[in-house]
Chains A and B, each alone.
Chain A
């Protein structure tokens, strides 16, 4: 049994995805890792899951800079999902942007647990697991 049943990564950068998967596997982060390339894909996928009666992943790693629908767009849509399950979800913004405006903006969303500046390291992931215990 992994620490979490399900986690999700929304990012279009294959290198980052590659790295995240390695790190998460090392920590046995979750049984399942959902991956979406952009915000729109993620919203659609999650809604599909809810439709299929599956629970939402408890942790979502969200990139900001993506085509079609960026991280902000995803956040705006996600908070509107009408499901009680959503309230248990913590979203971690994972971005290469060190711009303070981006961090401030992200913290305005209640659902956002933290803002993680790339690259992500093991310690940070461990920290998340502690919080989710």
Chain B
């Protein structure tokens, strides 16, 4: 080794000397620094001491050891962690005196960073489509880089001259501009940086950025270097942006959207022309400060609006509000405002940028809608018709006061129920059937008369109208039920029916009366007429005259009696609706049985009484006595002599009535035959000598005058049962 050791070590490149066995013989200080090694690496094997190196380096060292004098290359090695490291090397073989290779001198450098920079530059030039060019004015030659050629869409071997270069620029503005710039550059050394259009070799229009830097020597331009960049996309985007902005400006103007900006820190407000229109003021009348805007806002909305601005600035909530402004002509307009807040990196609000639109028409329509909804709601709530929204399952969704009132439930009670819960069972089926038809689309509405039970369990008669409400998709969402409470009408109807019945009864009584007059009074009158004629007849035999006088007495007696009966009947009729008093039923029965006990004993009648002591009826005591007496004596009168006679008197409470039953096992009445006449006046059916045909007639009248009824059940030879319904006290 003949190399000066110290000189080797001080060489300012990473250099190492290896023997034929590839152990370190020496290295420069720069080597140690570069690879982070210490001097005692000396004598150690090269590859074991170094980090991972490219395979190609090993091969090149081997080549040199085998006699190749010089190798150089740059390659990268991929480390296990995926990083790549670029190495550049130069290898020289070292020979001894015998011309034998005894080792190698190696210069090795990590050039990763350099390599990356290069790669980035190239890449970025490719991506940015930046080409280079140079014009040598002395030689009058022109150089274009590959990208420059690509941009011009010429072949790689194309060499232009200056004139040709200029002719690529589009005729007109672009060509004139570049001609002038090049001229100025050559004459005065003025650099340029401009954006112009070229027409490529293939005829495509393209925007480019051209930069030129003239190089002057002794006031004369010798060379111009520059770059050439394809900016078509950016330019296009720019133009597009310009167009969009223009369109936006047009659109905002047309739509009346006002754009504003508020410089929060400096209290400056900038308005576009639309803003002035929205606020109905001239630009010259607007001071451009926050307070000036505030002054435009209607006082009622001022505080709320200011708070909204403040909240937006503090970042509490988005600025999105509506408020009213008053124009100078006092017209009030609704404004909808939205804005975004722009902040610095610390979050402090710098500016607000926003838009205003006039929504007066919308707001007016909205208010009208709200008003109509409110009035609808009001109509629903205050309607005298009971209204309910009913779900598909029959549940009440919403009910109004009238509905609640009719049914006696509170609102919240009804909302827990379905209509099925409160419908009379007999009316449910028809209601459900009709509802099903609505659901199936066979009809859209129906109306029925039905009965509900109110909260107290009383029947409520209603006229129900059900209408379906459909969703947008046509499915039924719920039903509207309207009920008109017709209970009072039904009650009135019933009352009317009652009155009609009463009238019919009275009419019947009148007919009866006419009949009585016709048959009974007249029969006596006729008898009297006939007899008096006989008495006037001179030829009448003595015996006959005597008989005739007897007959006269009987006839006048009969007339008297009939008149007395009639009087009795008339009396009952006249005293109808007489003040009814409480009459103890048991006491009355007992009193009558006491009165007729001689008759009972005489005829050996078995009497059983089962009338509770506490039972009281509403009636007239004298009538009650007369009624019971009549029924008891009838039972005795028409007893069956062949039987052991029984008489049973008992009573049942039945709702607002008490039913008094007088039952015997006597002769019975053929009701099929006499049923209709049983209670008529002067109807007797047995030919009994005591029968006067007046008792049951009066009894019936007395009972009816006390608001009661009498019915009879009877079978011949089995017995008769009179049922007397009386008002319970």
Contact = CB atoms under 8 A, between A and B. Distances in A.
Interface of A: 13-16, 18-19, 22, 37-38, 64-65, 67-68, 73, 95-99, 102, 117-121
B518 A96 contact: yes
B646 interface: no
B547 interface: yes
A22 B523 CA distance: 18
Contacts of A37: 687
Contacts of A73: 673
29 contacts: A14-B551, A15-B530, A15-B531, A15-B558, A16-B527, A18-B548, A19-B527, A19-B530, A19-B531, A19-B551, A22-B534, A37-B687, A64-B519, A65-B523, A67-B687, A67-B693, A68-B685, A68-B686, A96-B523, A96-B525, A96-B526, A97-B515, A97-B522, A98-B522, A118-B522, A118-B530, A119-B526, A119-B527, A119-B533
A16 B554 CA distance: 11
A23 to B, nearest CB: 8
A68 B558 CA distance: 20
Contacts of B121: none
Main secondary structure of the interface of A (DSSP, over half): loop
Interface string B524-552: 01110111011000000000100110010
Interface of B: 514-515, 518-520, 522-523, 525-527, 529-531, 533-534, 544, 547-548, 551, 554-555, 558, 673, 682-687, 691, 693
A117 B518 CA distance: 11
Contacts of B684: 67-68
B544 A13 contact: no
Contacts of B685: 67-68
A35 to B, nearest CB: 15
A96 B528 CA distance: 12
Given A14-B554, A22-B544, A68-B686, A95 B527 contact: no
Nearest to A14: B554
B697 to A, nearest CB: 14
Contact of B530 (A64, A65, A67, A119): A119
Nearest to A120: B530
B158 to A, nearest CB: 139
Contact of A65 (B558, B682, B687): B682
Contact of A99 (B514, B525, B533, B548): B514
B529 A119 contact: yes
Listed from nearest, the 10 A-B pairs whose CB atoms lie closest are A118-B526, A96-B523, A119-B530, A96-B522, A67-B684, A119-B526, A15-B527, A19-B530, A97-B518, A119-B529
B12 to A, nearest CB: 157
Nearest to B674: A68
Contacts of B525: 96
Contact of A96 (B519, B531, B673): B519
A68 B525 CA distance: 24
Nearest to A63: B523
B558 A95 contact: no
Contacts of A97: 515, 518-519, 522
B547 A68 contact: no
A99 B530 contact: no
A68 B687 contact: yes
B657 to A, nearest CB: 33
Given A18-B551, A67-B687, A68-B686, A13 B523 contact: yes
A38 B167 CA distance: 152
Contacts of B554: 14-15
Given A67-B686, A68-B685, A118-B526, 11 more contacts: A13-B527, A15-B558, A19-B534, A67-B693, A96-B519, A96-B523, A97-B518, A99-B515, A117-B526, A119-B530, A119-B533
A118 to B, nearest CB: 3
From A38, A68, A96, A117, residue with most partner B Cβ within 10 Å: A96
Contacts of A16: 523, 526-527, 530
A130 B514 CA distance: 35
A15 B555 contact: yes
A119 B523 CA distance: 8
Contacts of B691: 67
A119 B675 CA distance: 31
Contacts of A22: 534, 544, 548
A14 B524 CA distance: 11
Contact of B547 (A18, A96, A119): A18
B519 A95 contact: yes
A9 to B, nearest CB: 14
Contacts of A14: 551, 554
Nearest to A12: B687
Contacts of A65: 519-520, 523, 682
A18 B528 CA distance: 12
Nearest to A117: B526
From B520, B530, B531, B555, residue with most partner A Cβ within 10 Å: B530
Contacts of B526: 16, 96, 117-119
Contacts of A98: 518, 522
B518 A118 contact: no
A4 B684 CA distance: 34
Contacts of A19: 527, 530-531, 534, 551
Contacts of A13: 523, 527
Contacts of A67: 683-687, 691, 693
Nearest to A98: B518
A129 B520 CA distance: 29
Contact of B687 (A15, A18, A38, A118): A38
A40 B284 CA distance: 127
B632 to A, nearest CB: 22
Contacts of A96: 518-520, 522-523, 525-526
A87 B649 CA distance: 52
A118 B686 contact: no
A122 B344 CA distance: 141
Contacts of B533: 119, 121
Contacts of B527: 13, 15-16, 19, 118-119
A99 B518 contact: yes
Contacts of A117: 526
Contacts of A102: 518
A64 B677 CA distance: 14
A37 to B, nearest CB: 7
B517 to A, nearest CB: 9
